Each structure stands twice: as structure tokens, then as C-alpha cells.
Structure 1
Amino acid sequence: MSRTRSATGPRPPSGHRWIRWALAVLLLASAGCGKGIGEESGDTLARDAAAVEAKQLNTDLGHRNRVRDAGSIAAAEIIQDPQDAASGGGATVRREALAWSGRTAGDERATVDVRFVVTVPERPPVSIGGASNTAGEATRCYRYEFQLYRYTTYREIGCPSGAAPPPPTAAPVPRVPEDGRQRLTAVLRTATPDTLASAVRAAFPQDWITVDTTVHEGALVAAVGVPAERDCLLLVRTPAGKIETPGYDRIWLEPGETGCKTGLYVSPPR
């Protein structure tokens, strides 16, 4: 999701700061048109502002590289706290999730319908005959579609009437436990080559966690991870008994690469 700007001009702010900047530009643009008092429609400005935020949200949602259900995407990346409604030039923009279905897994698709509600205050002329706009408001709705390893797409749809439904809740994301390093360190301190594999699996029994262990030139090596989330913990107990954290390029955790394996240390990709 990209936008065009001058190669030599200033870079617009990101996220909600960019939205506030864009709204301010929309509202101030009419000031240079010299149309006179009351000739600029607040409703038109509000519709334009809604389109700006819809496009920006599409950009922010970006490329999808994790398996997520639509409700989790809406809860974590789309729904706003009312206190966070974007504003700029006196206008306010509120977005609401209206419907969500599907997930980003394999060839499946997820969709989220979003309503943008924009209000623009009246702006009187700053001088006799100067530009101004009436108060206005607009409501526009868009459907965002998500597919694994694709960029988000969107299109405008008709807006349903009525209030938005109760917001969804994001499903928990599987992770290596927060105390994973401490657990693995404790195992490596007492493990032997014969007990290493079973001891590490006993410390990490969750079925979504992968465990890979080996003994390499007298060192005990263990890799614990959640492949779908590119989450990986790699530790080594050297022959001298020191616990080390080998460095590696995280690109090798991506699908089709080495993954969270002891090979990241034993035979690192070149």
C-alpha cells in the first residue's frame, strides 16, 4: 500500500500523524482556491477525508505473513480506542469494524468491513471574501481483504445502517514462554548428551513449540521455537560449561529456509 510524493519534498508523518497531516491539507487546500465565503462544502471535505484514511489504513495493514483470523486482525490492527480518533484541521475521523470473517491460512482469505465516520467543523473566512467551508460529515465503508503472503486490498462498499457490533477479541498468539530463556538455560546446565532431547521437551511440552537438539563438537545445542511466528530461542552449552546465545540472520526463520533448528549454529547458511 503506497502513496506518491515528490522526491525532493518533505516526507509526510506516518500512521495517525500522517492522517492528521492529510486532513489538515484537505481542509487548508480550499483556502487557496479563492472561492469565497461558504462555497466549499464540508460534506465534500469529509468524504475526501474518509477516502484518505481508508487508503492509509490499507497501507498500514500491508503484507500478510502470519496466520490470523479476521477477528484478530480487526481487534489488533483496525479497531480504534475512541480516544484515538484521528483529527486534523479540526476534522475528526472515527473507524469501526462492522463485519469480519475467514482467516489468512493457506489459500483462505479473511475480510473485514470498516466504516469511517468523518465530521468537519464550519470554517469561517479569515478575511472579507476569503475561503471558508460549511460544517459537514460523511460516512463511507470499505471492505479489506487479506491473504497469506499477499498485500492487503480494499474496495468501497455500501454502508449498512445501525450501530457497529461489539468488537471482536484477538486470539492469543502462540509464543515461546516469557521465561523460556531461563527454562532452557536451566536444562542445559544439568543435561547430558543422552538426556538433552527429553529434558528440553519436558521443559517445553506445548504442542505448538518445536524442539531440536544436538551435540556438536562437545557442545550441547538446543533450538526451541514457534515456526509460524518466526519465534526462536537458540542456546548452546560450550564444552567449558558456558551458556551462549549464537547470533544468526532472522531471515533464516522464514518459510522455506532453515527454520528454528540447531543448524543455525551447527551449519549456518552461507
Structure 2
Amino acid sequence: MGARVLVAVVMLGVLAGCAKGPLAEDSAATEAAARQAERLNTQLGYRNRARDAESIAAEVRTVATRADSVQVTPLAWAGRLLRDERATVDVRFDVTVLDAAPFGTTERSATRCYRYELQLYRYTTFHEIDCPAIATPPVPSAAPVPQLPRDAEERLTAALRGATPDTLASAVRAAFPDEVFKVDTVTAQGTLVAAVGVPAERDCIVMIRTADGATKRVGFDPIWLEPGELGCSVQLYTNPPR
């Protein structure tokens, strides 16, 4: 009788252990998914550039380590980062955790979804959401980032050389006709000054033409292009911070 009881207790213990197995596996994989979601939140971080949500979704990358693998898939996105507007990006994490076992390797898996909320000049926040049923998620593509052309210095040099104080502004605008470029010009004590850039990208070039006709590119501290500073303007030459 005692032997039978002992066998029954052992069997109950084995069955209890089997019942706990899936819960343990689900818990471990879920924790791994949560860690990867936190990592992505850190990666997206502080947003200080104007972007649309699809471009932000395109920043998401698949992460893999020796201990586990994570498939990171953007599912949906909306909005943009501009002034007070907001963007959201929904991301699915498919996690497989590999555990060494006496008789081989055990796989633990989980799927979790999170929504990331972003705003210009704010840190990214996120929270878990229910995973939507999407058979084939769309693939996001980043919109081209506006920037000065490679020949910006050559263009601005030519515009300065052919300009007069009265035609300076129109000459520089003609060299950079796209409205994405900010153009700022002034004549200061006989020196023609021109600044051209993409303010949202902190991309800027400043050049002068002195009274003797010589042209020169003006250097400045990039910090002066940040919000709240001078920005891309002729003051980077005429009235720089001290």
C-alpha cells in the first residue's frame, strides 16, 4: 500500500510539473519580448527631427542574440512629428527563447504587440496592445530626408560672385529654388552674406563675399543650429554667440 501511495505521489508531482511547463515557457518568452520592447523604446528615444510615422516605422530592426531570437515587425503607423502633432507605430515582437535541457534544447515562444507614441522634442513612450490579426503586414519605407545638395558650396559661390546687394536675395533663391531650403541674406559693411539650409535637419551653409570679390565659407558651432539658438541665419556671421 505504501508503495502504491508513493507511486501516486510521484505521478502527481510529474503531472504538476508538466502542467507548470507551458506557463513557465510562456512567462520566460513574454519577459524576453518585454525586454526587447523596452530596447526599441530606447532606440527610438528622443525625437528632434520632423518625420512621418512610416519613416519612423522603417527604423525598426530585427534583433537576434545567442540566447534568443526576436522578429520585430511594424504592423501599422499613423501621424507625423511636426509641431504639436503626434505619431504612433504599432510593433509586433515574435520571441523564441532557447533553453539548454538535459536531452536537448527547449524552445519557448511568445508574441506580444506594443504601440509607440512619439512627439517632436519628446521622449518616446510605449504600452502593450492586443495583437491585431494581420496576415501580411505592410513594409514601411522611409521618405527621403531633405538635405542640402552636394554642390551647395559651389552653387552659393556662383550666386555670390554674380550678385549685387540689390540682387543678392533673388540670386541665392534662384540657386536654391526648392521651398525646403531656407534662404537668408544681408549686406553688412560691403560684405555680402548668405545662409542656406534645411532648418529641421540642422543642415546649413553660410558664405560671404567681401568687397574685394573673394568668397569664403563661414564656420560655426553646430549647436547654434539647434531649436532656441540662432538657427540657419546670416547672424551666424554677423552676430554669432559669444
TM interval, short-chain normalised: 0.7 to 0.9
One-letter amino acid of the structure 2 residue matched with residue 60 of structure 1:
Q
Structure 1 residue 262 corresponds to structure 2 residue 234: yes
How is 1:1-270 mapped onto 2 (pairs within 5 angstroms)? 41-75=24-58, 77-78=59-60, 80=61, 85-125=62-102, 134-270=106-242
Structure 2 contact 199–231 (Cα < 8 Å) conserved? yes
Structure 1 contact 63–152 (Cα < 8 Å) conserved? yes
Structure 1 contact 42–133 (Cα < 8 Å) conserved? no
- In 2, the alpha carbon distance for the partners of 1:237 and 1:125 equals 77
Structure 1 residue 219: deviation in Å? 2.1
After TM superposition, the structure 1 stretch with the greater mean CA deviation from structure 2, 107-116 or 190-199, is 190-199
Q: What fraction of aligned residue pairs are identical, expressed as a percent? A: 59
Partner of 1:34: none
**Secondary structure of 1:197's partner?**
helix
**Secondary structure of 2:100's partner?**
coil
Deviations 1:34-78 (A, max 9, x none): xxxxx7944433222211111011011111122222111102x11
Q: TM-score, normalized by length of structure 2?
A: 0.83
Over 3 Å counting, the alpha-carbon distance change for 1:206 and 1:162 in structure 2 is: closer
**Secondary structure of 2:156's partner?**
helix
One-letter amino acid of the structure 2 residue matched with residue 218 of structure 1:
G
Structure 1 contact 43–138 (Cα < 8 Å) conserved? yes
After TM superposition, the structure 1 stretch with the greater mean CA deviation from structure 2, 216-225 or 146-155, is 216-225
Structure 1 residue 168: deviation in Å? 2.3
- In 1, the alpha carbon distance for the partners of 2:184 and 2:224 equals 15
Deviations 1:155-193 (A, max 9, x none): 111112343422122223222222211111122233233
Structure 1 residue 89: deviation in Å? 2.6
Structure 1 contact 42–121 (Cα < 8 Å) conserved? no
Structure 1 contact 113–144 (Cα < 8 Å) conserved? yes
**Secondary structure of 1:101's partner?**
strand
One-letter amino acid of the structure 1 residue matched with residue 91 of structure 2:
V
Structure 1 residue 235: deviation in Å? 1.0
- Structure 1: gaps (5+ residues): 1-38, 127-131
One-letter amino acid of the structure 2 residue matched with residue 91 of structure 1:
D
One-letter amino acid of the structure 1 residue matched with residue 63 of structure 2:
A
Deviations 1:92-135 (A, max 9, x none): 11100111111122222111110011112341349xxxxx9721
**Cα RMSD after superposing both structures:** 2.3
> Who wins on radius of gyration, i.e. which is larger?
2
- Structure 2: gaps (5+ residues): 1-20
Q: TM-score, normalized by length of structure 1?
A: 0.75
